[in-house]
Amino acid sequence: MGCAKDLVEYCGAPRFLFSDFPLGNAAGRPNDPESQAFTLELAMKVLETAPGPRTTVQSPLRWNDDALWKLDFSNIDQMSEEELAERKKAFDEVKEVAKQQRIKDGLKVHAAE
């Protein structure tokens, strides 16, 4: 299951359920158990019925009736400098939490370690 059709097909996944949703939402819409159950059932059908390797099936579900969401979703050209700064700050905070957890667990913090 995935949302980046070009990348997954380029890698040669043997069977692929494509959801035309924003990245990170391949299993269905957030907080929508019905779309998630449908997506999982469809993915299982793809596994059972794919005629051969590199089979791609597109989910009939749509993120939105209007495809303009693709222009706006995480499009930095559409964001103000303040919004970009807020998002960077939030991302940096999450990275620091992850770093501290890795240190606590005795794991590498950087790949070179």
| Residue spans per domain, the chain | 5-75, 79-113
Which residues are CB-contacts of 21 (< 8 A; sequence separation ≥ 6)? 3, 28, 29, 61, 63
The type of residue at 91 is F
Question: How confident is the model over 48-68, as pLDDT tens digits?
Answer: 999 988 999 999 999 988 888
In the predicted model, is pLDDT for residue 2 greater than 90?
Answer: yes
What pLDDT is attached to residue 112?
61
Q: What is the model's pLDDT at position 26? A: 93
pLDDT band at 110 (very low <50, low <70, confident <90, very high): confident
Q: Helices H, strands E: what count in the chain?
A: 4, 2
Per-residue pLDDT tens for 86-104? 989 999 999 999 999 999 9
Which DSSP symbol is given to 13? Answer: -
Cβ atoms 90, 84 nearer than 8 A: no
Token readout for 94 is: 């999450």
Q: pLDDT tens for residues 11-34?
A: 988 999 999 999 889 999 999 999
